[in-house]
A and B are shown apart, each in its own frame.
Chain A
Amino acid sequence: MPVAERTGPREPITGDIWDQRVANALAFLRRRITGEYEIDEFGFDPELSTQVIAPLLRPLYRHWFRVEVIGIENVPAAGSALVVANHSGTIALDAVMLALALYDEHPARRHLRLLGADLVFQLPVIGEYARKMGATLACMPDAERLLEAGEVVGVFPEGFKGIGKPFSERYRLQRFGRGGFVAAALRTGAPIIPVSIVGAEEIYPLIGNIRPLARLLGVPYFPVTPTFPWLGPLGLVPLPSKWLIEFGEPIYTLGDSELADDPMAVFDLADRVREIIQQNLYRLLRLRGGAFSHSSSSEDSN
């Protein structure tokens, strides 16, 4: 600490990193209290996301799941892209980890604009923070508006079928809805980037589903894991599996906008994307080895 070097008490303090940090934190607080920050039309609050939420998630990302990212260069530094990923883990932690991976590992620090199910936006608190973190409702107008604005949009076409599947079906991709994401990419000419996420399947292994309770609460499933609901709130602690996220090679769609209205072409392309994600998942699984291993696979992946 350079405290001892300082001479007069009235000297302006420069180069003192802690002073800078305190000043920045106070300025940040002041902006939040007086509302002097910007959000976009979708409700994305970049300041809150990068200054508060990302630092909270980073320990989970780095030390708990030890996420390793492969192929980040497949995401363009500017312009739109549609990131399509597998979905798993009972709770959609894979979505926030994917967003953090893109922001932290991409040289252009790109924000992932996730498309979520309407259930997400029905829920209090979760719906509020989903919007603040840049998510919006998975619907064609929003997807196209974001892609036309040159954003990186993230979708999980498996939806609740993906995160709510039993542990025994781990890493087996579920059906991809209507392939609306493909149509949105075709219409806007955005490249599709298939993403495979390994590790999220083991965080809350779903061994049961209490259907009557799910129906009562109006949710797609009520999870039973080895720790939940038996251990109460402790059961909410995710297991520390090792994660690998691979951004696959882009599939370019520029100039194919007329195919967006051709259901056959849309289904074909959706199937192709699904196949790539599945193949990459199998390869990543072999690369990773045990789900809770401490060994790093960085020699292979770099």
Chain B
Amino acid sequence: MSNVVLVTGASRYMGAAIAGRLASDERVGHVIGVDTTMPSDETTALLGRAEFIHADIRHPLIGRILAQTEPDTVVHMAVVASPARAGGRAAMKEVNVIGTMQLLAACQKTPSVSKLVVKSSVAAYGASSRDPALFTEETEPRAMPRGGYAKDIVEIEGYVRGFARRRPDVTVTVLRFAPFVGARANTTLTRYFSLPVVPTVFGRDPRVQFVHVDDALEVLHRSVLEHHPGVFNVAGPGVLSLSQAIRRAGRVPLPVPDVGLSVVAALARHSGLIDFSLDQIDFLVHGRVVDTTRLKEEFGYLPRRTVDAFDDFIRGHDLASVLSPENVKAVERTILEWIRHARR
């Protein structure tokens, strides 16, 4: 059905993974991955049979690539979440916002394009104390989200809506992903949970939700091959509380007062340990949980539960520490035996 699929952001993990996955599907003719940087050894392996073209989507030349390759499906994965890996916040905004604008302009001028799949994020909803417990696709954020990534996401979705109006013949699928976790995923959030002592906000224990990388890829894959126009939340059903997630990872939470956290975040960023932005602090205060009913009904597919996705991440990263369930269980048995002994 799909003859030529063009995937942006193909030098990064998710972009390369979906490009490689689509290339190995016999229902897909040809897969072209484009990115501004050359793929690393790891992402080259993920790309598999997909062709890689070194091209900059921020540049109008992307239009020429689209005209030459005549893709019928464009998968826009070049949406960057962390400034550190994009080379600073300015570069990140450039990739996200200017890149999306140029890509959409090119798509608009390319008649062969009949489908657009965009990787978005639940960050679009922001996070505040006045939000309902679960966001549906229709929920309007009550406050304009703080932080670069969330603002970029809001802008990107705005451009995508504009594109959909100008090219009503194109099937547009916007996937709002919860934070990725998985056995191999390496994101700001997974690095956060790998810290020996994990800073949290004092007096707050937000609900957190994740999506497993493999489930995210499955949803992307189906978006390309099937017909699912619209906006969809993609997240693992159920929630964990942040403190619960930290304990499951065998880590110790370190509550820091709200004001102190900005300092801690700045220090962490400075030391290069992890980079933390304001929207992530809002996330640590209020959490963000989405309703996945529409995904289930429309795709007939539901990602694995948040807790199962997170457990896979713990196993994959070998996070088990002194506080692993086995060790705690052993301590529990010892104490129980000791009390029984003492009471005799």
Chain A residues near B (Cβ < 8 Å) = 3, 6, 9, 13, 18-19, 22-23, 26-27, 29-30, 32-37, 39-43, 45, 118, 121-128, 131-132, 136-137, 139, 141-142, 145
Contacts and interface: CB of A to CB of B under 8 A. Distances in A.
Contacts of B40: none
A34 B248 contact: yes
Contact of A6 (B201, B335, B344): B344
A35 B329 CA distance: 13
Contacts of A27: 332
Interface of B: 129-134, 136, 139, 201-205, 207, 238-241, 243-248, 258, 286-287, 289, 323-325, 328-329, 331-332, 335-336, 339-341, 343-344
Contact of B241 (A34, A45, A121): A45
Contacts, number: 105
Contact of B132 (A125, A128, A141): A141
A122 to B, nearest CB: 4
A130 B323 CA distance: 28
Contacts of B287: 43
Given A3-B344, A41-B207, A34 B328 contact: yes
A128 B204 contact: yes
Given A26-B336, A118-B129, A39 B248 contact: no
Given A34-B328, A41-B238, A118 B130 contact: yes
B247 A34 contact: yes
A136 B131 CA distance: 10
Consensus secondary structure, chain B interface: mixed
B332 A30 contact: yes
A125 B133 CA distance: 17
A35 B203 contact: no
B139 to A, nearest CB: 7
Nearest to B139: A141
Contacts of A26: 332, 335-336
Contacts of A45: 241
Consensus secondary structure, chain A interface: helix
Contacts of A19: 340, 343
Contact of A124 (B202, B246, B328): B202
29 contacts: A9-B341, A13-B340, A18-B343, A23-B336, A29-B332, A30-B331, A30-B332, A32-B247, A34-B247, A35-B240, A35-B245, A35-B247, A39-B244, A41-B133, A41-B289, A43-B205, A118-B129, A124-B201, A124-B203, A126-B203, A127-B129, A128-B205, A132-B205, A136-B132, A136-B133, A141-B134, A142-B132, A142-B134, A145-B133
A151 to B, nearest CB: 12
B332 A137 contact: no
Contacts of A125: 202-203
Nearest to A146: B133
B61 to A, nearest CB: 45
Given A34-B328, A43-B241, 20 more contacts: A26-B335, A27-B332, A30-B329, A30-B331, A30-B332, A34-B325, A35-B248, A36-B248, A39-B239, A42-B207, A43-B239, A121-B286, A124-B203, A126-B203, A128-B203, A128-B205, A136-B133, A137-B129, A141-B139, A145-B134
B339 to A, nearest CB: 5
Contact of B133 (A18, A33, A42, A123): A42
A142 B133 contact: yes
Nearest to B130: A118
Contact of B323 (A33, A39, A122): A33
B324 to A, nearest CB: 8
B344 A39 contact: no
Interface centre among B132, B243, B286 (most CB of A within 10 A): B132
A137 B239 contact: no
A230 B339 CA distance: 47
